[in-house]
A = this chain, B = another copy of it.
């Protein structure tokens, strides 16, 4: 199950996979909706594996820091599940996948019971972060950062202030979603304050090595294999892994399940965290995105890796 002794072989495999897949970046585009994201080099590509025994291997741009964006949605969801419980969370948001773009207002409105479809569409994630019992949005953002540090075993993770300010300044679509939910009673509290927490969590910066450990912690059922500390209940991890499979890759989730066959969650910063339950976590990052908002090279790399290491669970 572990490949500790073949670490060199694994690193060689990873390096080859990075080389083989890097050139696909020309077929995609770096996210441009906020100026800070648009600065990323499109040809960056990194990967990191962390086994449930805590062994790690990396390839390509393993140390590159990027904002985790929508990957933060599973962290705030984990926090909400642990602090307010499944019942309240799933009274507020649904559990069903949606084929629509990640920030659709139309979908939000059509959902008759006025619940966002699931916790990983933008509306759902905004509703989820509002549930975290902290004094204000800033504190909620900091609580998500604190959990991210423990899940990734990296106490030095920080929020990128420039990205946070940029999100806050330009996030009118998210304001529209939040005010809509405010008008239907789904969202409590002050909208700008709720968004403060949401924009903060999206701006957490990490490397693929950090994401690999996050994935490994979800793979063990909640024990960080690097620090040895239990961070989440195993039930919380199951819920998150299931959501990753059905809705983790925006409206490309169905195709990703077919091609790669493991739970994963992407962000528009180019990162993807993937989980092989009982075996390992994987972090990848390539900022060039496909039309659905997923890292193009990252997905290709995961498809190759899944085939070569026989990672599929589906």
Query: How distant is the Cα of A246 from the Cα of B246 in the complex, in angstroms?
Result: 5
A176 at the interface (CB under 8 A from B): yes
A93 to chain B, nearest CB (A): 11
Residue of B at shortest CB range from A109?
A: B106
Question: Is the CB–CB distance between B242 and A246 below 8 Å?
Answer: no
- Contact partners of A247 in chain B: CB under 8 A: 97, 254
Q: Please report whether the interface of chain A is mostly helix, strand, loop or mixed according to DSSP.
A: helix
- Contact partners of A97 in chain B: CB under 8 A: 97-99, 246-247, 253-254
Question: Is the CB–CB distance between B95 and A258 below 8 Å?
Answer: yes
Interface string of A62-106 (1 = CB under 8 A from B): 000000000000000000000000000000001111110000111
Question: Is the CB–CB distance between B312 and A238 below 8 Å?
Answer: yes
- Contact partners of A109 in chain B: CB under 8 A: 104-106
Chain A interface residue count, Cβ-Cβ cutoff 8 angstroms:
47
A54 to chain B, nearest CB (A): 23
Pick the contact of A96: B99, B180, B183 (CB < 8 A).
Answer: B99
A255 at the interface (CB under 8 A from B): yes
A277 at the interface (CB under 8 A from B): yes
Query: How distant is the Cα of A97 from the Cα of B245 in the complex, in angstroms?
Result: 11
A9 at the interface (CB under 8 A from B): no
Question: Is the CB–CB distance between A118 and B254 below 8 Å?
Answer: yes
Residue of B at shortest CB range from A117?
A: B99
Question: Is the CB–CB distance between A242 and B261 below 8 Å?
Answer: yes
A122 to chain B, nearest CB (A): 12
Query: How distant is the Cα of A70 from the Cα of B239 in the complex, in angstroms?
Result: 27
Query: How distant is the Cα of A179 from the Cα of B178 in the complex, in angstroms?
Result: 10
Question: Is the CB–CB distance between B183 and A172 below 8 Å?
Answer: yes
A110 at the interface (CB under 8 A from B): yes
Query: How distant is the Cα of A314 from the Cα of B314 in the complex, in angstroms?
Result: 8
A257 at the interface (CB under 8 A from B): yes
* Beyond A105-B176, A176-B180, 16 extra complex contacts between A and B, CB < 8 Å: A94-B254, A95-B255, A97-B246, A99-B99, A105-B106, A105-B109, A173-B183, A175-B182, A176-B183, A179-B179, A238-B314, A241-B314, A242-B314, A245-B245, A277-B312, A313-B314
